[in-house]
């Protein structure tokens, strides 16, 4: 327990265990990549700080702020220990319930407790240099008017519920009344009015004097949900998401901790909000992959919501029009209560969906030698439908999950392809706005590391002047549309255009108010938004996500298609959807066309089961990365050999041995100059996987050199 501490302890702050009056030990969690808390000694007369209070402690040659974690049960071996320098909080900074939750997440994800705490706290609170520590010491800082502003755009009075909404609300109220853990999956089609149910359930929970946590997938979505909640609950609501400034985040965090605000809405990390006595947790759009953090502390906020709900005796609602295969499996097996909402509010119908088979179209076009007056990405059907819709004064949304102007650039003379020197992937051409851009031809950007270089029309290899661009992204679509539909008001939403958060809010609001005619965007535009004037949705290339090399590519495609289709016809006029594809026979298109989630689940779950993929099997991915290719390869090889040996020795609880797949280079084999390898552990038993992982980690120090980063990804989403 105190191994790291003793080996690094080299200055005057440590005292021998036998010094008189110095027998009070305390374990402190410090934000370092070490798996246990460090043990320290308290000065003679100091009372131990409460669990969850911050303390200043020496680590190596510097001072760090850690969190008092526990009084160690057994006396550590008689080594020299360092002293706690200062106790920074009189009371616990973290509420008791949050502490147990963090401990559990740390152990579940094999992620160091100190770093889990650092992730859960607002920025700055664990900084030894920050002067604000003095302010916080002894009391909590005053709110300094850092509340971010959000537009509110809904009725303040609760709506008269539809029959289906009423049924769901009643079920939630029954669950709330039990004051015990009760998970519910609300499978409600898009536009069935789930938000109104969440609003009224939140009200019920507040009446019981308990707090409410609402998770939404992305900032883009918070805008709308927050607007609704603020107009209904005012000051009671607090917002937590990564788009806030550091000061705002701290301010909001303390408002919650002080109990000034009992409703928290936020993205993934809001799962760590310092709420006490949570009665209701809602995970909206529970299927959304952004609930899984994709680097460092790789937690899944939806899964953690269930855990936190269990620890707080709360009702947990997972809501979605397209539940994840994993949540749906839990619902039909009875682990969660399943409630279905089949109808849209106000008798609105689900949009009609048409699949356009690009294969036949392309052939026919060639046959007739049509010199088409439209770009290759646009079918005649979609072009005509867009024209009709615009003529009726209605709105169009076009979805393509790829940014940029062209997806790669090459020289037809010598074959040279422009690639990122750090990531070995092709560079995407972002032409940018010619009128405002200083770089005449825009930039080439790496979508992995963000590296940019000016897009020059000359090949660096042969000096050829005929450099060509191929493949299209949202930027090209928007540019082409301006030519095809002159006069239409067109906007684009993707990661390139929303670097400024305000832009996102403005565009969403403008589109909602009808100040724009066509909105083009990536998956960002598929989520939760409610656009009453939108009647035509076009999916430009369903194949992009369908051909993605991940085991859940089909599930993701079904979700994207259903979600984006669900944006159409939410107002008074009916909507329609056109999906362009080269794979029209794929079962996912049938299911999306008929809005048939159950049929999709049947097919998809059979395939997953056969291959032992989640949720029918469990996975842990061990990721290794570093700058030296040979070293990464060797290290991963050694760990894999040990893993295979350990796997044989594990007394299986699941019936079969843990499969050790790899070592293998990751599909994205190099990012930001770091080579990436991985070992995938697969089993039907999570306990077996964990046992193996624990065994490996206990030998990490001997096997993995410090220049190699080893990360454990429990329940990985992306395996790229
Ligand atoms: P979902 O999240 O299920 O896709 P929303 O919660 O966004 O659906 O609701 C869709 C639309 O229906 C919203 O504009 C909402 O204000 C409206 N709405 C919800 N419930 C009712 C109701 N009971 N009566 C009238 N309109 C409603
Ligand atoms: Zn790169």
Phi, psi of 507 (to 5 degrees): -65, -45
Nearest to 403 by CA among 371, 458, 442: 442
Least confident of 43-47, 217-221, 482-486, 623-627: 217-221
pLDDT at res. 10: 34
Pick the more confident residue, 86 or 654. Answer: 86
Apex 277 CA angle, 275 and 278, nearest 5:
70
Question: Ligand 1: does its nearest atom lie under 6 Å from the Cβ of 697?
Answer: no
Residue 6 has pLDDT above 50, yes or no: no
281: tokens are 């947790």
Question: Ligand 1: does its nearest atom lie under 6 Å from the Cβ of 569?
Answer: no
Ligand 1 centroid vs 195 CA: distance in angstroms? 7
Ligand 1 centroid vs 275 CA: distance in angstroms? 28
Ligand 1 centroid vs 154 CA: distance in angstroms? 11
Domains and CATH numbers, the chain: 11-136 (3.40.1440.60), 163-347 (3.40.50.300), 352-403+476-609 (3.40.50.300), 406-471 (no CATH), 618-714 (3.30.70.600)
pLDDT at res. 368: 56
pLDDT at res. 131: 46
Apex 338 CA angle, 333 and 339, nearest 5:
160
pLDDT at res. 454: 86
Q: How many CB atoms lie within 10 A of CB 158?
A: 11
Beta carbons of 65 and 117 less than 8 angstroms apart: no
Residue 371 has pLDDT above 60, yes or no: no
Bridge pairing between strands 182-188 and 352-357: unpaired
**What average pLDDT does the segment 559-585 reach?**
88
pTM: 0.88
For 665-718, write each residue's pLDDT tens digit.
998 889 999 999 999 999 999 999 999 999 999 999 899 999 999 999 999 999
667: region left, alpha or beta (phi > 0 left; psi from -120 to 50 alpha):
alpha
Ligand 1 centroid vs 144 CA: distance in angstroms? 35
Mean pLDDT of the chain: 86
114 to each of 86, 121, 129, 229, 493, how far by Cα in Å?
18, 11, 18, 33, 37
pLDDT at res. 434: 56
Residue 524 pLDDT class (50, 70, 90 cuts):
confident
Helix (H) or strand (E) holding 377, with range, is none
CA dihedral 678, 679, 682, 687 (to 10 degrees): -110
Q: CA torsion sign, 654 to 658 to 659 to 664?
A: positive
Ligand 1 pocket: which of 189, 191, 193, 221 to mutate (most atoms within 8 A of CB): 193
For 299-336, write each residue's pLDDT tens digit.
999 999 999 999 999 999 999 999 999 999 999 999 99
Question: Ligand 1: does its nearest atom lie under 6 Å from the Cβ of 512?
Answer: no
Beta carbons of 284 and 319 less than 8 angstroms apart: yes
Atom of ligand 1 nearest to the CA of 160: 23
pLDDT at res. 653: 67
Residue 720 has pLDDT above 50, yes or no: yes
CA distance 258 to 265: 16
620: tokens are 């842990």
Exposure b/e, 526-554, CB count within 10 A at least 16 = b: bbbbbbebbbbbbbbbbebbbebebebeb
Residue 5 pLDDT class (50, 70, 90 cuts):
very low
First-to-final CA distance of the chain = 35
Residue 548 pLDDT class (50, 70, 90 cuts):
confident
Ligand 1 centroid vs 418 CA: distance in angstroms? 48
Beta carbons of 564 and 555 less than 8 angstroms apart: no
Question: 């009372």: which residue's tokens?
Answer: 47
């Amino acid at each position: 327990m105190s191994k790291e501490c003793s080996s690094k302890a080299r200055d005057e702050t440590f005292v021998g265990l036998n010094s008189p009056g110095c027998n009070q030990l305390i374990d402190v969690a410090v934000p370092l990549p070490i798996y246990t808390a460090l043990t320290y000694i308290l000065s003679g007369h100091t009372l131990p700080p409460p669990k969850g209070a911050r303390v200043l402690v020496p680590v190596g040659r510097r001072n760090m702020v850690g969190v008092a974690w526990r009084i160690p049960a057994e006396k550590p071996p008689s080594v020299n220990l360092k002293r706690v320098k200062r106790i920074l909080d009189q009371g616990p900074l973290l509420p008791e319930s949050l502490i147990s939750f963090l401990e559990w997440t740390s152990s579940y994800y094999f992620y160091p407790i100190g770093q889990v705490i650092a992730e859960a706290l607002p920025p700055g609170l664990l900084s030894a240099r920050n002067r604000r520590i003095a302010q916080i010491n002894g009391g909590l800082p005053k709110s300094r008017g850092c509340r971010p502003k959000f537009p509110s755009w809904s009725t303040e009075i609760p709506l008269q519920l539809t029959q289906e909404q009423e049924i769901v609300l009643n079920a939630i109220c029954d669950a709330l009344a039990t004051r015990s853990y009760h998970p519910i999956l609300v499978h409600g089609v898009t536009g069935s009015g789930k938000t109104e149910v969440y609003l009224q359930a939140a009200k019920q929970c507040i009446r019981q004097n308990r707090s409410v946590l609402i998770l939404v997938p992305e900032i883009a979505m918070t805008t709308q949900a927050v607007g609704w909640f603020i107009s209904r609950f005012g000051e009671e609501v607090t917002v937590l998401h990564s788009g806030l400034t550091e000061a705002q985040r701290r301010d909001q965090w303390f408002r919650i901790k002080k109990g000034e605000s009992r409703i928290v809405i936020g993205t993934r990390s809001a799962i760590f909000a310092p709420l006490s006595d949570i009665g209701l947790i809602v995970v909206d759009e529970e299927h959304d992959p952004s609930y899984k953090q994709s680097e460092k502390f790789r937690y899944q906020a939806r899964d953690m919501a269930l855990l936190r709900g269990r620890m707080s005796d709360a009702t947990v609602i997972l809501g979605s029009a397209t539940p994840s295969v994993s949540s749906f499996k839990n619902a039909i097996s009875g682990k969660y209560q399943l409630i279905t909402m089949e109808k849209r509010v106000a008798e609105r119908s689900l949009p009609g969906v048409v699949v356009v088979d690009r294969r036949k179209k392309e052939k026919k076009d060639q046959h007739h030698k049509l010199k088409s007056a439209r770009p290759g990405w646009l079918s005649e059907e979609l072009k005509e439908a867009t024209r009709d819709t615009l003529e009726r004064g209605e709105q169009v949304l076009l979805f393509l999950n790829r940014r940029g102007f062209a997806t790669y650039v090459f020289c037809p003379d010598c074959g040279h392809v422009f690639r990122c020197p750090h990531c070995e992937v092709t560079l995407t051409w972002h032409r940018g706005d010619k009128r405002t851009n200083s770089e005449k031809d825009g930039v080439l950007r790496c979508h992995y590391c963000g590296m940019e270089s000016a897009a020059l029309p000359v090949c660096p290899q042969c000096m050829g002047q005929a450099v060509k661009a191929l493949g299209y992204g949202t930027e090209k679509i928007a540019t082409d549309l301006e030519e095809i539909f002159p006069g239409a008001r067109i906007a684009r939403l993707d990661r390139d255009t929303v670097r400024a958060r305000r832009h996102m809010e403005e565009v969403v609001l403008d589109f909602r108010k009808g100040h724009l005619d066509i909105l083009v965007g990536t998956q960002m535009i598929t989520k939760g938004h409610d656009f009453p004037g939108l009647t035509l949705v076009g999916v430009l290339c369903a194949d992009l996500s369908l051909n993605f090399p991940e085991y859940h590519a089909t599930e993701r495609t079904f979700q994207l298609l259903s979600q984006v289709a669900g944006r159409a016809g939410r107002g008074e006029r009916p909507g329609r959807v056109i999906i362009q594809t080269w794979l029209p026979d794929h079962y996912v298109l049938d299911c999306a066309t008929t809005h048939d989630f159950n049929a999709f689940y049947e097919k998809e779950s059979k395939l997953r089961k056969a291959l032992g993929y989640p949720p029918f099997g469990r996975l842990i991915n061990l990721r290794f990365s570093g700058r030296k290719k040979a070293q990464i390869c060797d290290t991963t090889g050694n760990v894999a050999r040990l893993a295979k040996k350990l796997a044989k020795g594990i007394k299986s609880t699941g019936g079969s041995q843990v499969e050790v797949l790899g070592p293998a280079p990751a599909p994205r084999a190099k990012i930001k100059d770091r080579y990436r390898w991985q070992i995938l552990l697969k089993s039907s038993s999570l306990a077996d996987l964990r046992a193996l992982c624990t065994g490996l980690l206990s030998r990490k120090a001997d096997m993995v050199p410090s220049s190699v980063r080893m990360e454990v990804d429990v329940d990985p989403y992306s395996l790229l």
